[in-house]
Structure formats: C-alpha cells, structure tokens
Structure 1
C-alpha cells in the first residue's frame, strides 16, 4: 500500500522520534479511512464479541477486547498468549480486513518501518473510566517488527515509559484518527492509557476504540 493514499490531516509536519528514537506520532493519519475502519470493526464484533478478559492474577480488565487476524491476544488465569481460536466462540478469529492491514502497513512505512507484516490486531474498547496500566508488548516472537496503534473515538491520554517500569513516563493526548508507532530500540518500552474521560464523539459516541497491530507469529 502506498502511503500517499493516506492523507495526514494535520497542519504540523510528520513528527518522528517524539518519544525518542523509534517512535512516531502520525496525527490524523487514519482519518481518510475512518468509515471503512468503523464498518469493519462492527463486523468483527458481531463475529467475535467484545469481552472483559481476566488476567492470570484474577483481575478483570476494565477494557473490553476482541481480535482479528491470524492470531488473537488473550489472557485468562493460565496466562497471556496468542491463539488462532477465539476461546468464547471456539472459531478462528475474524480475518483482518483489507482496510486494517493497509493502514497498518502504511503507518509503519511512514514511521520508518517499511517491512511490517502484521498478523494480529488486538481491538480495545474503552468506556469512561477504563484504563490500561503500564505494560510491555512482549508476547510476540519477532521484536524487530514495530507496534502500530490506531485511535478511534474519544480522546485519550497515552502514557509512554522506558524499558523499565520505574522509568519516567511521558504523556501525549491522542484523538480520533491518530496513529502511534514504536519499534526498534523503543519496541519494548512500557506504555498505557490513563482513565478515559467522559465525552461524546460524533461517529463513535461515548467510546474509544484502539486497534493495535502486531506481528505475533
């Protein structure tokens, strides 16, 4: 997919290395395909509904999740892992829509990662008050592949830390259509989302969706 097909609807130049080497904030990068993304998202949720998963420690996550692609990320009392099968439906996860895949590849290329090959997309649904604590994405096998994170709906405060949990955390407000990419030396940095504030988005309502693309296999 040619990145020129995605309009960067921002008056600012494309900001790279905002959080350090290997990071990029692509403001408004997904806006040109927002209708396709939201339509595909609805179809995915009809086949594999959102659910609040449980961590190995027994904590019920405030963020509801589903997946699409060859692999889906799941957590339960037995641990964190990727699986071909949705444990609730007992069926393979829905295929990754073309609009998802093309956006993920184009975003990674724009951020300086031209060989991204995502095979998993974790979809998070945030309602007001939901949060995601600082964590690393480390269940994947190939850390040379970046993470691509697409924000839809209500704005959120993205938290980006260092390679250790105790490292200083940076914050940036992300809004509908923004795409964040991190890889290379930033690939295993801690990150999270502060509790979502109440609000209303014209297309999504009082919800925030996050599409996180990874190469899991």
Structure 2
C-alpha cells in the first residue's frame, strides 16, 4: 500500500488569476473542472497528470499572511539565458522579487501574484528531465525524519538524505523531486501550499489514512466539513490531503 503525490494545492483569493499565472509560467493550460482551477500539461484535462504534478488552485476567503510558506516550488531552467528569459517573462506575468534571506545565490526568488514564494533555479543537471517544475521544496527541522515519513507514506524513492536535506522522486524516475531542507524554527501557521495524495485504483482510502496515522500523521480540522478527502498533518505539521479516487 502506498499513496502517490498527484498535485500541489495552492490557496488563493482569486483562483482563476493565480491559475492563469501558473499555467503561463509553466507553459501549461488552466482548466476549470469545478470551483478550483487546475493547471496541467496542455492538450486537454487529464487528471491525475500521467507525469509530474499538477497544480490545483483553490479559492479561499482569507488573504495570505506575511509568514513565509514552508512549501514552495523550484522551477527548472536549461541555460543561463533560459533562466534570465524565464525570470523576465514571469515578472511580466505578475511575479515580484522576494527576499527570504537568501543572500547572494545563483537562483532567483520570486513570488506569484498573491505572494507565494518560488524559485527559478540556475541550470542543474539533476533537474534536466523533470519538466518545468524541478522540485516541491519543504522547509523542515529534521530532513531525515521527513524522508522516513514521506518515503513510507508514498511510493516515491529516496535519492539523498543528510542532516541538512533529503530528496525523493517517483519510482519511475520522472517528474519533479520532493525535497526537504533544514531550516531553523518550527512551523507556526497554516501554509497556502500543500501536497495532495491519491490512493491507487483498488486501494482503500480509509485504510491508507489509518496507515498514515500509524506513521505519525495527525488529523487536521481546517473547517472543511463533510468532504470526500481527508486532511492530515505530517509529523512536523505540514498539511496534506488524501483525495478520494475518481
């Protein structure tokens, strides 16, 4: 039994506008399958995306706080010229420079139109085949513990683990990485960005949720009421949802 990460969930006051931003940023398409705006590869809505992770932008009434998100996206580039072009294009789409204390680094930190931070990376060989999203990055206090939990929660393969960082990727070797970076301080406020997981066809969602609780996940009440998904937190308080199979 295992779950597969299928999408990055982003909360937004204006889900349509944020969805359009991410679709144009990634060269994908924005779809409106319901109240949310789903961003996935062009060519028609296919969910879940066969390779990589989609982005599901969910409308919420609350504005983002000033606290930095503990989860963000890293975007891949293929050359210094591509990096510069992408940064310039993203700014024309509504992205703004963001200072998260990064100092002098070879990547560029930006924020989407509602302030969610993301990075445009310099070219790195490890991300040459990930697609436009290089990694989903999670700030944490203990990368080793996070890698243990998420490695058991999902069917993704551990690629690297140290005291300072850990990374997992789909066992098929495609799509983005899931990375955990050590940062000082614990999580204090709900995030605007989280992962959604999906059981495989034929697997029992309730049994998967029970398995996650045994691994250290805790139930999370966000006021979601009676919904067909389950909201949980990992051992460091990062929110995630287990979706119902369609």
TM-score normalised by L of structure 2: 0.24
Return the index of the structure with the highest Cα Rg. Answer: 2
| Higher relative contact order (CA closer than 8 Å, sequence separation 6+) | 1
The TM-score normalised by the length of structure 1 is 0.26
**Higher helix fraction: Structure 1 or Structure 2?**
2
